[in-house]
């Protein structure tokens, strides 16, 4: 199909989705009870999936299965699985793969492709007294763990994200010179993965919306300056747009996307995809920057449709499946679930994305 015709088709599908949402709201329909009348949203060519984050590492198997079943009731194609180094290898050379096995195998059983997110350092590998998100002192230790991961899961997983949001101090142990230090991790991990899986996709860590020295464009430019170009096959972004949506100016993850891809193009990487490894909105109280359930759905559809029209987006991942504690109305982080409340009640987006 010609590119112009494809864009027209995507536009009509997106318009149908928006009209369906408006009609449902006006009619007062309870979309989490009955089948959704809303058209399937426009999604990137690589499809969409879900990200859960840290709760994957401590969730019970039964709860993990319930979340995976909720994902399977949508048209999602992917699950992002956190492979938490500080939990899997708490003692050097001693591995506990149990929770990772459950998420990887459970995802594959339900027909979902897996993006493996390899992050966070055990105590023995990082500087004394540092936060668990700090990078290892020796990148070779990370490369050794990455090798063990790919040896175990390479028959089921072919896409690997190297760390999470290292442009933010909290998620890189408040380390100085974060872009330079992170680039050293990429330089260690990339050849380790390719030695086992030459066709794997190695994705530079998803970058969060931030300003000043932590801005994604500044961080990526510093990565290039430190020689990162040949050590990733795609990069990643976290285009959160809450609370105001895509059109809001200022503190918004959407406006960074084009600038990041333009920077990649200037550095000879214009053909590389940008994976959206987190997107979504919290349904906490408005004073905590939360949105309503229907606005959460609208913003998810906005971002999925927007990146689909970009032409250079890889898969997109909605964060998260379920709230961690819906009762904490004033807590932003507790209410990112797109499909379920913490007591397993379907949210509005569950109907919007239902098969």
pLDDT of residue 249: 59
3-state secondary structure of 265: helix
Tokens of 9: 């088709």
Query: Burial of 150 by CB count in 10 Å (0-12 exposed, 13-18 middle, 19+ buried)?
Result: buried
* CATH class of residue range 3-352: alpha beta
CA distance 177 to 117: 22
- Beta bridge partners, 203, equal 161, 234
- Beta bridge partners, 16, equal none
Residue-wise pLDDT tens digits, 241-291: 999 999 875 567 898 999 999 999 999 999 999 999 999 999 999 999 999
Segments of the chain assigned E as strands: 48-51, 78-84, 113-119, 159-164, 201-208, 234-238, 274-279, 313-319
Query: Burial of 98 by CB count in 10 Å (0-12 exposed, 13-18 middle, 19+ buried)?
Result: exposed
CA distance 67 to 72: 9
Phi and psi at 222, nearest 5°, equal: -65, -35
pLDDT of residue 253: 86
pLDDT of residue 40: 60
CA distance 58 to 56: 6
CA distance 329 to 338: 15
Q: Tell me the pTM.
A: 0.89
Residue-wise pLDDT tens digits, 304-349: 999 999 999 999 999 999 999 999 999 999 999 999 999 999 999 9
pLDDT of residue 10: 42
For the chain, how far is it from start to end, CA to CA, in angstroms?
A: 25
CA distance 324 to 342: 5
Pairing state of beta strands 159-164 and 201-208? parallel
pLDDT tens-place values along the chain, 355 residues long: 444 444 434 443 443 444 344 333 333 332 223 333 445 678 888 999 999 999 999 999 999 999 999 999 999 999 999 999 999 999 999 999 999 999 999 999 999 999 999 999 999 999 999 999 999 999 999 999 999 999 999 999 999 999 999 999 999 999 999 999 999 999 999 999 999 999 999 999 999 998 888 999 999 999 999 999 999 999 999 999 999 999 875 567 898 999 999 999 999 999 999 999 999 999 999 999 999 999 999 999 999 999 999 999 999 999 999 999 999 999 999 999 999 999 999 999 999 999 8
pLDDT of residue 41: 72
How far CA 23 is from CA of 30, 31, 171, 226, in Å, comes to: 12, 11, 41, 52
pLDDT of residue 214: 92
């Amino acid at each position: 199909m010609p590119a112009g015709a494809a864009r027209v088709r995507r536009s009509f599908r997106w318009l149908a989705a928006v009209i369906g949402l408006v009609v449902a709201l006006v009619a007062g329909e309870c979309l989490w009870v009955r089948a959704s009348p809303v058209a399937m949203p426009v999604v990137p060519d690589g499809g969409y999936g879900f990200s859960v984050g840290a709760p994957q590492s401590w969730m019970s198997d039964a709860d993990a299965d319930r979340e995976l079943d909720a994902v399977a009731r949508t048209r999602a194609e992917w699950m992002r699985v956190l492979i938490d180094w500080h939990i899997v290898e708490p003692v050097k050379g001693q591995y506990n793969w149990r929770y990772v096995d459950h998420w990887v195998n459970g995802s594959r059983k339900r027909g979902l492709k897996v993006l493996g997110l390899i992050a966070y350092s055990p105590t023995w590998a990082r500087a004394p007294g540092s936060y668990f998100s700090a990078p290892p002192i020796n990148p070779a230790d990370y490369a050794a763990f990455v090798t063990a991961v790919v040896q175990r899961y390479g028959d089921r997983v072919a896409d690997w994200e190297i760390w999470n949001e290292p442009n933010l101090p909290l998620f890189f142990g408040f380390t100085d010179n974060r872009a330079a230090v992170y680039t050293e991790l990429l330089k260690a991990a990339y050849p380790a993965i390719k030695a086992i899986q030459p066709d794997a996709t190695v994705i530079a860590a998803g970058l969060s919306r931030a300003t000043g020295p932590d801005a994604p464009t500044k961080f990526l430019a510093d990565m290039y300056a430190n020689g990162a170009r040949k050590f990733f096959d795609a990069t990643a972004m976290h285009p959160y747009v809450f609370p105001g949506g895509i059109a809001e100016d200022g503190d918004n993850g959407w406006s960074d996307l084009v600038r990041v891809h333009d920077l990649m193009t200037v550095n000879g990487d214009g053909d590389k995809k940008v994976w959206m490894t987190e997107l979504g909105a919290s349904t906490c109280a408005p004073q905590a920057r939360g949105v309503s359930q229907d606005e959460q759905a609208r913003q998810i559809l906005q971002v999925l449709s927007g990146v689909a029209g970009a032409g250079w987006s890889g898969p997109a991942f909605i964060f998260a499946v379920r709230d961690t504690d819906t009762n904490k109305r004033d807590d932003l982080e507790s209410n990112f679930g797109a499909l379920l409340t913490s007591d397993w009640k379907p949210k509005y987006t569950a109907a919007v994305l239902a098969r």
